[in-house]
Amino acid sequence: MNTVAIRASSLPELFDCPARWEARHLLHKRLPMSGKAALGKAIHASTGAFDAARVLGSPITADAAAGAAVDCLHHPTEDVDWDEDNPQAAERIALALHTRYCADIAPAQDYVAVEAACDALTIADLGITLTGTIDRVYRDDTGALGIADLKSGKTAVNAQGQVKTQGHGLQLATYELLAEVAIGKPITAPAQIVGLQTGATERAQRVAVGEIDSPRDALIGSPDFPGALQHAAAMLKAGLFHPNSRSQLCGARYCPIWETCNGRS
């Protein structure tokens, strides 16, 4: 049976605006990466290098790992639309957050896997194959394993040090399923979100960890109550991808079909 591949990271977009999701992930229409996305990618690169070296038993310094962020920003592998941002300002923020992460977050974490890839988790009866890369798999004090996902942005961590977890549940539940396939072990500890606040000032550059009980039931569903994957499968099978003009990402900068979409207001 043929299945449709869905990247775990794209699942929220499918429900936010199916038409935009279809354009990007089925029709492969592309826009340049935003400056904010480039910044997030750079932070992922440098912190990933730092954590991976520790997991492999050959730790490197935060300064040595920081070069991955600089290289990512100044030698991107895809086009970047910096708009009001610029690589120099992004570099300052990336290096500041990288340093804070390596000093305040990483030492308290017991990671067992970094950037663990799951090439395919096929759910044949739904006609879906899930794919994705899990940022981190951590081990808690009891020995249970859980996932940790890095989220950067200007609202990632508030002034009280609380990480924004709302809206990430379904994506993290999907990552849990992928992680179990990737490492071959059960994931039972609460999911973590490592928030990295990309403020322009030192005071607004915050890092913290928040926990979320992933809604696997809401993702997988039951015979009486279909879950998010069942709804996604029905949408894919019917080929009906309606636009959502009320999406916060409804605009020319974020949607490759915005100019021709007949559903926008």
Q: What is the pLDDT of residues 49-58, one digit of tens each?
A: 999 999 999 9
Q: CB–CB of 45/37 below 8 Å?
A: no
Average pLDDT over residues 234-242: 93
- Confidence grade of residue 63 (pLDDT, cut at 50, 70, 90): very high
Average pLDDT over residues 67-84: 93
Beta-carbon neighbour count of residue 137 at 10 Å? 25
In order of their start, the domains of the chain are 4-8+28-238 (3.90.320)
Total-model pTM: 0.92
Q: CB–CB of 147/191 below 8 Å?
A: yes
Please tell me the number of Cα atoms within 13 Å of 77 on its side-chain side.
6
- At 218 the pLDDT is 87
- For residues 72 and 217, the model is more confident at 72
- At 1 the pLDDT is 58
- At 108 the pLDDT is 97
Cα torsion angle, 90, 91, 93, 97, sign:
positive
Residue 83: both structure tokens together? 């708009």
Instruction: For residues 113 and 55, give the distance between their C-alpha atoms in angstroms, rounded to a whole number.
Output: 7
> SS3 letters for 10-60?
HHHHHHHCHHHHHHHHHCCCCCCEEHHHHHHHHHHHHHHHHHHHHHCCCCC
